[in-house]
Amino acid sequence: MSVQAMTWALEQQVVTDAAMRHVLLCLANYANEAGKGAFPSIATLSSDTGLSERTVQYKLRSLEEAGVIRRGNQAIAAAYISHRDRLPMVYDLSMERGATVAPGANDDVTGCKPRRNGVQLTTQRGATVAPDPSLNHQRTTNEPKEHVQTGETGSDDVGDRKGKPESGKRTTKPNPLDGFEEFYQAYPKHKDRAKAEKAWRKIDPALHPVIMAALPKHCRQRDWLKDNGQFVPLPASWLNGRRWEDEIAPDAGPASNFTNLPKHTPDMYQDRDDGRANF
């Protein structure tokens, strides 16, 4: 934190808009005593000011257009952040505007010697070398460590988002009993429903239409129609044995309403050579 930079931000009268002054003051908190080398992320400034990230970006552009801040030495951020695509914008405060600045405080003053990892300032009177800027170590406790500004657009990249599922994208598993009620009601024998449900769960849902298509043919076969359905297998046995795949003999005709036996059809009785009836 630089007292000189923050004092200048408070005393300057170039910017009068309250929100812009607030952003400028918080930005000054991350600059060195010469007002240089500030590169907090947009998210950090948003947390410090209580403004939205979009508003912070807008105010930074307005401050830059007003001439109170300018883009500084980007090598400062590059020296501390390895990911080139996550480098925040480095800003310098134009402390020469609206306040008296000590000699050697600006790049265009004799005695200023830029270094790769910071700004080395030497005053004209031989003062000791100023230390490297604080490089924005004034991190607030609420700021995520991986929250950094990316590019000149001010967009942020949040490291904490890795591994979190995207909202609104839930996959619903199919109910293994889908279609069972329709099958059970169509099946002629209603016994051991629990076992039938268990057998149905094991079957690939893609086979449900095949089963329902084969069931009516089985219901019309002779063995199932005789003796009031005594020989109809339990539904669980029929499913577990994959009996829907069995080949069914040709239908002998609908059952008689009186005897429960197949009705006789003319093709069952061929004429004899002597002309007598074949029955």
| Pair (51, 155) in one structural domain | yes
**Residue 254 forms part of a structural domain:** yes
Q: What is the pTM of this model?
A: 0.35
- pLDDT value for 129: 47
| Pair (100, 154) in one structural domain | yes
**Residue 166 forms part of a structural domain:** no
| Pair (113, 210) in one structural domain | no
| Pair (198, 240) in one structural domain | yes
Name the strand (E) or helix (H) holding 49.
helix 42-49
| Pair (126, 261) in one structural domain | no
| Pair (150, 190) in one structural domain | no
- At which residue do the structure tokens 């539904």 appear? 235
Give 52-72 pLDDT, tens digit per residue.
Answer: 999 999 999 999 899 999 998
Print the domain residue range for 56: 3-160
**Residue 277 forms part of a structural domain:** no
| Pair (19, 142) in one structural domain | yes
Q: What does DSSP assign to residue 40?
A: -
| Pair (220, 140) in one structural domain | no
d(CA 45, CA 26): 7
Residue 119's DSSP bridge partners are 114
d(CA 70, CA 79): 20
- pLDDT value for 117: 47
pLDDT in tens, the chain (279 residues): 678 888 988 888 898 899 999 998 898 898 888 888 888 888 889 999 999 999 999 999 999 899 999 998 877 877 777 666 667 788 998 888 655 444 444 444 444 444 444 444 444 444 444 445 445 555 544 545 544 454 444 445 444 455 555 555 566 777 888 889 998 999 988 889 999 999 999 999 888 899 998 888 888 888 888 888 888 999 999 999 999 888 877 655 555 554 555 655 666 666 666 666 565
**Residue 97 forms part of a structural domain:** yes
Q: Which amino acid is at 166?
A: E
- Per the structure, the count of domains in the chain is 2
Distance, CA of 267 to chain centre = 69
| Pair (145, 188) in one structural domain | no
Percent of the chain with pLDDT over 90: 20
Pairing of strands 112-115, 118-121: antiparallel
Q: Which of 125, 160, 195 is the last residue of a domain?
A: 160
| Pair (129, 34) in one structural domain | yes
- pLDDT value for 269: 61
Q: Which of 108, 126, 160 is the last residue of a domain?
A: 160
- pLDDT value for 234: 93
| Pair (95, 228) in one structural domain | no
Comparing CA positions, the residue from 86, 84, 70 lying closest to residue 38 is: 70
**Residue 165 forms part of a structural domain:** no
Distance between first and last Cα of the chain: 115
| Pair (108, 156) in one structural domain | yes
**Residue 167 forms part of a structural domain:** no
Give 95-152 pLDDT, tens digit per residue.
Answer: 886 554 444 444 444 444 444 444 444 444 444 444 454 455 555 445 455 444 544 4
